[in-house]
Amino acid sequence: MKHTIEQINLKNGAKGIFIAVPDATVFTYDFNFRAGEYLVDPEKWEIPHLMEHVLLGANQLIPSAKDFHAEIEKNGAYSNASTGIYDISYEVECADFEWDRVLSLLIVAISKPLFLKEEFESEFGNVEEELSARANNHFRRLSIEVRKAVGLKAKSDSDRLKLIKNVSVDDVKEHFKKTHYTGNMRFVLAGNITPGRKKQFIEMLENIELPKGRNRYALPLEKPVNPKKPIYVKNDSVDNLYVYLDTYMTRKLEENESDALDLLITYLTETIYSKILGTARERGILYDMSSDILRTRDATNWWFGAQVSEKNAAEYLDIIISEISKVRRGDISAHDIEVTKQYSLGRYQRSEQTVGGTSAGYCNRYFFEGTLNDYYRIPSRIKAITKDQIVEICNKMFEEKIWDLGVLGNCGEEFVNKLYSQIEVLWN
């Protein structure tokens, strides 16, 4: 989608991006505060999550959560909020004709929440239900246990259910005061931003009734360690196995390294004809799998996740070993690289068909590290990736020998230990 971008530094310390999409019929607003769970007492881990649930509720303009959502969504607008280890984000998508009304409502909600005791108690119950439902997500449970094992910040959903009782509405109010100030605020606004609208946006955001505060909170120091044994989560109710495999580099990737690793992940796992997933499908041992990059402030994690039956698990790992080993010794053809680049270019074009898709292409990286990911450079970056870069980053991701294998199921520790011994050849 054709667009122009402009970085905005407001007088009150807030920073963001305006994405002007001529003739767009919708607007998207994303606001982000560094206000996640790492900033609270671990015994009160659910403070940010509960705050996120209550904040888009009763405020000084509209006295109840139900009425607020009815008002902001009455013309088909969508609103939501999310919490993570690092951040809380608030998002709205609305029709162009009501851009100012909806933005005004969102600004009031963010800056003037009432945190009513009765709404806190209602959302307390809703959060308990949400955590209980999440406990049925086996991939999520395994990923959290793996994250804890390598020393990254995490709490299991069962632990969170126990800890939620420690949180009061006063805790939520205090966390709001601690984190919701303009110096800690980042935003991405996308839509038909004309010169006149730009001036109005700046005025509305500079007049948001939040304290200026200090600079944005820094991300936490998280240095992964090698657990030196597999992580086994026993679950007798699961017939197959949930398997995670991670390898770490204790620094951030450079842009060209990240591009090369992204292309390698596509080459190995993202299509039915990719080298790992495609081979596993061809042999009838695996229906689907995922692989991606996870970043912390100080490290980069390349992970693989899949569901696989116990009888096929060893063969699945053999395929991973074989295909990664080929790449590490340079056994990857120019033809395969070119085919993967073409796929990645097409995926890029599909991702920016909408205002929301274009905005999402900027939000994650900007909110995480303040970096502007220039969308128009992505095709040239993909085309510039070389075989040598792919081989080099693949080898670098195994150099430091920080890795883990996580398995959830009822296969027993002895079987998991065998899988661990099988896969560790990649780091030897």
Report in angstroms the alpha-carbon separations of 12 from 184, 263, 335: 10, 40, 52
| 3-state secondary structure string across 26-72 | EEEEEEEECCCHHHCCHHHCCHHHHHHHHHCCCECCCCCHHHHHHHH
Q: What single letter denotes the amino acid at residue 279?
A: T
Residue 169 in domain: yes
pLDDT tens sequence for the chain (428 residues): 789 999 999 999 999 999 999 999 999 999 999 999 999 999 999 999 999 999 999 999 999 999 999 999 999 999 999 999 999 999 999 999 999 999 999 999 999 999 999 999 999 999 999 999 988 899 999 999 999 999 999 999 999 999 999 999 999 999 999 999 999 999 999 999 999 999 999 999 999 999 998 899 999 999 999 999 999 999 999 999 999 999 999 999 999 999 999 999 999 999 999 999 999 999 999 999 999 999 999 999 999 999 999 999 999 999 999 999 999 999 999 999 999 999 999 998 887 789 998 999 899 999 999 988 888 899 999 999 999 999 999 999 999 999 999 999 999 999 999 999 999 999 98
Considering the domain architecture, whether residues 136 and 200 belong to the same structural domain is answered as yes
Please name the residue ranges forming H helices in 270-330. 275-282, 310-328
> Which tokens in the block code for residue 229?
């044994």
Considering the domain architecture, whether residues 192 and 250 belong to the same structural domain is answered as no
Considering the domain architecture, whether residues 166 and 258 belong to the same structural domain is answered as no
Considering the domain architecture, whether residues 16 and 85 belong to the same structural domain is answered as yes
Which domain CATH number covers 31?
Answer: 3.30.830.10
Residue 125 in domain: yes
DSSP β-bridge partners for residue 4:
20
The domain total for the chain is 2
Residues 6+ apart with CB under 8 A from 97: 75
Q: Return the number of other C-beta atoms located less than 10 Å from residue 194's C-beta.
A: 11
Considering the domain architecture, whether residues 395 and 246 belong to the same structural domain is answered as yes
Residue 211 in domain: no
pTM of the model as a whole? 0.93
Considering the domain architecture, whether residues 151 and 57 belong to the same structural domain is answered as yes
Considering the domain architecture, whether residues 274 and 173 belong to the same structural domain is answered as no
| Sequence-ordered strand ranges (E) for 59-126 | 78-83, 88-95
> Which tokens in the block code for residue 24?
């767009």
Domain membership of residue 309 as a residue range = 231-427
Residues 6+ apart with CB under 8 A from 264: 327, 390, 393, 394
Residues 6+ apart with CB under 8 A from 20: 3, 4, 5, 6, 191, 192, 193, 194, 198
> Phi/psi of residue 16, each to 5°?
-175, -170
> Which tokens in the block code for residue 177?
């005061």
Tell me the C-alpha distance between 192 and 259, whole Å: 30
Residue 32 in domain: yes
> Which tokens in the block code for residue 412?
């027993």
Domain boundary among 206, 241, 265: 206
